[in-house]
């Protein structure tokens, strides 16, 4: 299952998986792009391993990784509770 986490003003969306059997959470970043259709990347928590970068510059990857690191505790928590909408806060 994939859960929404955040949408930025430029329509970049961050979503995440439920906690995987190996204890990881897969975080997806995707930005619509007129030329390329979408730019995207995948980051695995808690290791912050980044894979499948398409269309983003290294500066953009670093920016999104910094955001993911700040939000990692929430994303991991939500991955175990059925996403933000199923938490006691949502």
Q: How does pLDDT run across 33-83, given as a tens digit for each residue?
A: 988 889 999 999 999 999 999 999 999 999 999 999 999 999 999 888 766
Could you tell me the pTM of the whole model? 0.87
Q: How far apart are CA 72 and CA 69, in angstroms?
A: 5
The parent domain of residue 6 ranges over 2-84
Domain-located, residue 11 = yes
Q: How far apart are CA 58 and CA 86, in angstroms?
A: 34
Domain-located, residue 17 = yes
Domain-located, residue 89 = no
Residue 75's nearest CA partner among 48, 53, 56 is 48
What's the pLDDT score for residue 38?
93
How many domains does the chain fold into? 1
Domain-located, residue 80 = yes
Domain-located, residue 90 = no
Domain-located, residue 51 = yes
SS3 76: helix
Domain-located, residue 52 = yes
Residue 36's nearest CA partner among 60, 7, 4, 62 is 60
């Amino acid at each position: 299952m994939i859960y929404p986490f955040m949408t930025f003003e430029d329509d970049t969306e961050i979503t995440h998986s439920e906690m995987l059997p190996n204890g990881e959470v897969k975080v997806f970043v995707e930005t619509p792009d007129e030329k390329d259709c979408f730019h995207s990347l995948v980051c695995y928590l808690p290791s912050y391993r980044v894979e499948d970068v398409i269309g983003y510059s290294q500066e953009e990857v670093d920016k999104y990784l910094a955001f993911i690191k700040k939000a990692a505790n929430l994303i991991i928590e939500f991955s175990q509770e059925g996403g933000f909408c199923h938490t006691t806060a949502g």
